[in-house]
């Protein structure tokens, strides 16, 4: 695997760091190998190869390879309503009567 690191770089020079897209693609391939590894020795070898190519600590590598993919967007939760319609209407009317002050102007001196 170490000899293939230069091809991920695109330069052929192992001293050049990979760009983010190449690192993500490389991590996806290594993650698949990591998940299908059968022995502890094989897992250790995969970790060392990936760690040496990326330059991260072993613990960081383990966390990265064990993590699950996150969805692109999480469903948003609606805010809970604190005040009912009557209170909101009374507050809006009061706000207009006192000439619509902002939060900075409402702060006590």
Mean pLDDT, range 25-31, rounded to an integer: 88
Structural domain boundaries in the chain: 2-66
Distance CA 85, CA 29 (A): 54
Does position 10 have pLDDT exceeding 50, yes or no?
Answer: no
Q: Quick one: three-class SS letters along 28-61?
A: HHHHHHHHHCCCHHHHHHHHHHHHHHHCCCHHHH
The model's pLDDT over 39-95, given as tens digits with 9 standing for 90+, comes to 999 999 999 988 887 788 889 888 888 887 776 777 888 888 888 989 989 988 988
| pLDDT-based confidence at residue 2 (cuts at 50, 70, 90) | very low
Confidence grade of residue 102 (pLDDT, cut at 50, 70, 90) = confident
């Amino acid at each position: 695997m170490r000899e293939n690191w230069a091809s991920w770089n695109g330069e052929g020079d192992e001293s050049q760091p990979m760009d983010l897209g190449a690192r993500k693609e490389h991590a996806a391939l290594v993650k698949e190998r990591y998940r299908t590894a059968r022995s502890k020795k094989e897992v250790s070898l995969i970790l060392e190869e990936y760690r040496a190519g990326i330059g991260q600590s072993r613990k960081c590598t383990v966390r990265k390879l064990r993590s699950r993919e996150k969805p692109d967007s999480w469903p948003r939760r609606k805010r809970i309503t604190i005040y009912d319609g009557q209170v909101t209407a009374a507050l809006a009317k009061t706000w207009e009567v006192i000439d619509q002050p902002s939060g900075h102007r409402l702060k006590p001196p």
